[in-house]
Amino acid sequence: MKNYIKETVDLKAGAEVILKGWVHVYRRMGKLGFIDLRDSTGIIQVVCVPDEMTQGADILDDVRSEFVVSIKGVIQERGVKQQREDQLTGKIEILAKELEILSESETPPFEIVNEERQANEELRLKYRYLDLRHERMAKNMNLRHQVIKNFREQFYALDFKEIETPYLSKSTPEGARDFLVPSRNYPGKFYALPQSPQQYKQMLMVAGLEKYFQVVRCFRDEDQRGDRQAEFTQIDVERSFVDQEEIINMLEAIMIKMVEVVAPDKKIMSVPFPRLTYKEAMEKYQSDKPDLRKNKEDKDELAFAWVVDFPMFEYKEGDERWGAVHHPFTAFDQADLAKVEAGDLGEIKAKQYDLVLNGSEIAGGSIRTHSAEILAKVFKALGHSEEEVQSQFGHLLEAFKYGVPPHGGIAIGLDRLLMILAGEDSIREVMAFPKTSDNRDPLMDSPSDVSKAQLDELHLSLKK
Ligand code: ASP
């Protein structure tokens, strides 16, 4: 068993400890060796005085940065002049009794003690396991863990059930391009990776679960940008017997509490969060995700705001057809049903709500249409043929025939939220193993070739 470095500050001078970790910095001064030892909980100075050591004095010349070592030693107070107030362990150090090298390290391709952005991103991603040793990246990973933990705890406390939904799913035209997975058992057929668990979570409501959430991966085959990755994480939520007001209030309270616990140094600009209609946001800020910070340089300021009353449909210029602004499952005012039937889609308001933070959309959701009949009319208005509707959404329409509760939900874009909390410019900085901006993974070297035998099994052949 080892002691963790953060525990040393609670121990008295003279206490014996066994520390195991990485050599962060190593200095020799004459016969002495000074190791700044790093583990997942902190850094502490270890003083190696050969005369004081019963084991390992002979290997003091061999130690290098990033070696993994085990040190048995005793805690001692540092001389007053050597004390460092700004460091957790700055008042103490370890006097080594035994030193053992557990594994050696080659010189890393970039320095771990120095600013990580010294290296280009390609190299950082190729050696991501070293990049994650940097203090800032380790902090970001810890923040990610803390935020997920906090959300989970809050949803558990509210009696939400955490349910997983399939990743091998079905291609449905929901917005972005699907990632397809060829089926071995069914030649010519494909699974699709879900763009979100939207239809599954709605069917869980039909199943009677009432309160669902999930920390879930979503896949969209889009070109990447600073705040987009093909694979990203949502905190996905759905609830039965709720209206828009209840979802908004619930999520707002959860967000405020999360910030209080996980990022207490941040200042939320106004509580309750301001609410803007889509029209107001567009008129006043020319954006449906306005940045309401007073001082945009200040990374500690959090300006949350809700945007509501989105249009239900928009004309997609590129595709020359009407589409849903959020998704077709979103509810609208029943008074507008006649317009939907008539294909007059321009002026209909959706029961959709987006949460924006410092100019980014960090959550979005809606109350759903829970009538199979109305949903079928929406699909028809969007130009889907009867057969398309049956093959792509038939399962949901069928489910809605068996007692579907009114329901609604929301999904938090976890990576974007973390990017803002961490004060980063890219979501790649808050993901453990992101892809490059052109969709590659330099660490595993993917995407990669596969064998002819694998392709044959999948009934695939490559175009020349
Ligand atoms: N599934 C939706 C999305 O990914 C969120 C929701 O409507 O709950 O944006």
**pLDDT value at residue 344:** 93
**pLDDT value at residue 226:** 66
Based on the domain organization, do 161 and 78 belong to the same domain? Answer: no
Widest Cα–Cα separation across the chain: 92
The enclosing H or E element of 281 equals helix 278-285
DSSP 333-395: -GGGHHHHHHT--TTPBBSEEEEEETTEEEEEEEEBP--HHHHHHHHHHTT--HHHHHHHHHH
Instruction: Give the ligand 1 atom nearest the CA of 197.
Output: 1
Tell me if 339 is assigned to some domain: no
Atom 7 of ligand 1 has which residue's CA nearest to it?
A: 365
Dump pLDDT digits (tens) for 383-417. 999 999 998 899 999 999 999 999 999 999 999 99
For 237, how many CA atoms within 13 A lie in the half-sphere containing its CB? Answer: 28
Based on the domain organization, do 76 and 175 belong to the same domain? Answer: no
Confidence tier at 455 by pLDDT (50, 70, 90): very high
State in Å: Cα 432 to ligand 1 middle: 24
Based on the domain organization, do 134 and 238 belong to the same domain? Answer: yes
364 lines ligand 1 (CB under 6 A): yes
Expressed as residue numbers, the domain containing 193 is: 129-310+350-370+405-452
For ligand 1, mutation pick of 201, 232, 234, 237 (most atoms within 8 Å of CB): 234
CA distances from 433 to 232, 427, 443 (A): 11, 11, 9
For ligand 1, mutation pick of 238, 244, 326 (most atoms within 8 Å of CB): 326
Nearest to 237 by CA among 374, 414, 16, 117: 414
Atom 9 of ligand 1 has which residue's CA nearest to it?
A: 364
Q: How many domains does the chain have?
A: 2
**Which of helix, strand or coil describes residue 254?**
helix
Based on the domain organization, do 43 and 150 belong to the same domain? Answer: no
**pLDDT value at residue 194:** 95
State in Å: Cα 97 to ligand 1 middle: 57
**For all residues of the chain together, what is the average pLDDT?**
95
State in Å: Cα 238 to ligand 1 middle: 9
How is residue 263 annotated by DSSP?
Answer: -
Do residues 1 and 72 lie in contact, with contact meaning Cβ atoms separated by under 8 Å?
no
Tell me if 443 is assigned to some domain: yes
State in Å: Cα 198 to ligand 1 middle: 6
State in Å: Cα 364 to ligand 1 middle: 6
311 lines ligand 1 (CB under 6 A): no
Instruction: State yes or no: pLDDT of 121 exceeds 80.
Output: yes
Q: Residue 414's domain is classified under what CATH number?
A: 3.30.930.10
Contacts of 131 (CB under 8 A, 6+ apart): 110, 116, 119, 124, 125, 137
**pLDDT value at residue 175:** 73
Distance from C-alpha of 211 to C-alpha of 201, rounded to nearest angstrom: 10
Relative to beta strand 161-162, strand 68-77 is: unpaired
196 lines ligand 1 (CB under 6 A): yes
Atom 8 of ligand 1 has which residue's CA nearest to it?
A: 410
Instruction: State yes or no: pLDDT of 147 exceeds 70.
Output: yes
Distance from C-alpha of 27 to C-alpha of 294, rounded to nearest angstrom: 47
**Which of helix, strand or coil describes residue 103?**
strand
Do residues 352 and 372 lie in contact, with contact meaning Cβ atoms separated by under 8 Å?
no
Nearest to 427 by CA among 140, 145, 112: 140
10 Å CB burial of residue 146 (0-12, 13-18, 19+) is: middle
Based on the domain organization, do 38 and 94 belong to the same domain? Answer: yes
197 lines ligand 1 (CB under 6 A): no
Q: Residue 72's domain is classified under what CATH number?
A: 2.40.50.140
Based on the domain organization, do 163 and 279 belong to the same domain? Answer: yes
Mean pLDDT score, 110-123:
86
For ligand 1, mutation pick of 327, 354, 366 (most atoms within 8 Å of CB): 327
Count of other CB atoms within 10 angstroms of residue 227? 18
198 lines ligand 1 (CB under 6 A): yes
State in Å: Cα 196 to ligand 1 middle: 7
Dump pLDDT digits (tens) for 6-42. 999 999 999 999 999 999 999 999 999 999 999 999 9
For ligand 1, mutation pick of 160, 236, 240 (most atoms within 8 Å of CB): 236
Mean pLDDT score, 339-344:
94
Distance from C-alpha of 95 to C-alpha of 75, rounded to nearest angstrom: 6
366 lines ligand 1 (CB under 6 A): yes
Relative to beta strand 190-193, strand 267-268 is: unpaired
Tell me if 206 is assigned to some domain: yes
Mean pLDDT score, 83-99:
93
State in Å: Cα 372 to ligand 1 middle: 19
Nearest to 365 by CA among 336, 325, 314: 325
Phi, psi for 438 (deg, rounded to 5): -105, 30
Q: What count of residues does the chain have?
A: 464
Confidence tier at 86 by pLDDT (50, 70, 90): confident
Confidence tier at 75 by pLDDT (50, 70, 90): very high
Tell me if 460 is assigned to some domain: no
**Segment among 86-100, 130-144, 152-166, 312-326 with least mean pLDDT:** 312-326
Nearest to 254 by CA among 268, 233, 243: 268
Distance from C-alpha of 144 to C-alpha of 97, rounded to nearest angstrom: 37
Which one of 103, 138, 170 terminates a domain? Answer: 103
Atom 1 of ligand 1 has which residue's CA nearest to it?
A: 198
The structure tokens listed for 205 are 């409501």
**pLDDT value at residue 276:** 98
Instruction: State yes or no: pLDDT of 174 exceeds 70.
Output: no
Distance from C-alpha of 149 to C-alpha of 136, rounded to nearest angstrom: 20
Based on the domain organization, do 291 and 184 belong to the same domain? Answer: yes
Dump pLDDT digits (tens) for 426-454. 999 999 999 998 999 999 999 999 999 99
Confidence tier at 118 by pLDDT (50, 70, 90): confident
Instruction: State yes or no: pLDDT of 224 exceeds 80.
Output: no
Instruction: Give the ligand 1 atom nearest the CA of 409.
Output: 8
